[in-house]
Amino acid sequence: MRKLVVGNWKMHGGLDANAALLGALYAAGRQACPFAVCVPFPYLQQAQALLGSSSVAWGAQDLSEHASGAYTGEVSGAMLKDFACRYVIVGHSERRALFGDTDERVAAKVGAAISVKLQPILCVGETLGEREAGVTEAVVERQLAAVFARCGAEALAACVIAYEPVWAIGTGKTASPEQAQAVHAFIRARLSAWCGEDVAAAMTILYGGSVKPQNAAELFAQADIDGGLIGGASLVAGDFLAIVAAAAS
């Protein structure tokens, strides 16, 4: 298992605010836990310019499943590579719920990312209704299985997995450490079945859902939680760096 914390800025930012935030991350220097930021498309050049000589990685929040073509408004993996992205978030719950990204489309996007040597951060997770119905594991397995079926074990193993209970994103609610750990352990077990025990043990599985400096250490202390995919707290340098420090301890 490898520790990692990734900030997801979502649709936030501006050139001046970004410069201050990225400057603070640059100034923090190398941390015991690797960390990265996934920024809106227009700010990838700024991230590359300000972080290029640092240990901080950067990436995008989505990509097209297509390599090129008449797809107005879409951004290809090759375009992201032009800005030296390392990561790309794929299948975030907001993309699934608001923009119609099906399991099959998410799997295609994973394949597109892998084909240009981007590392997908593959998001999986259940809604509140699905949790209350007792189908959390079935939903998560279905989302992972779509990638395995289309792309194969090697591509799935190349992903960072992010478990994000939809009911805990932007709501202020957080899965308890025990709830989160149970799903992370289930994910690692499924990865072990598909990719092999040693491969699964080395894969990074992040938790995403209202992670804050106040709850990060308890979440990251769980055996199968390797770090976090951080939303709102990643927009405040001090909070984000505190979460990074919690993942390293």
Q: Which residues are catalytic?
A: 92, 164
Q: How far is CA 64 from the centre of its chain?
A: 16
Long-range contacts of 9-15 (CB under 8 A, 24+ apart): 9/37, 9/38, 9/39, 9/40, 9/43, 9/61, 9/234, 9/235, 10/40, 10/61, 10/94, 10/231, 11/40, 12/40, 12/235, 13/39, 13/40, 13/43, 15/43, 15/46
Phi/psi-derived region of residue 18, left when phi > 0, alpha when psi is between -120 and 50, beta in every other case: alpha
Q: Calculate helix-pair angle for 136-151, 177-195, nearest 10 degrees.
A: 30
Which residue is associated with the tokens 């015991």?
32
Task: Residue 37: name the closest of 76, 98, 83 by CA.
Answer: 83
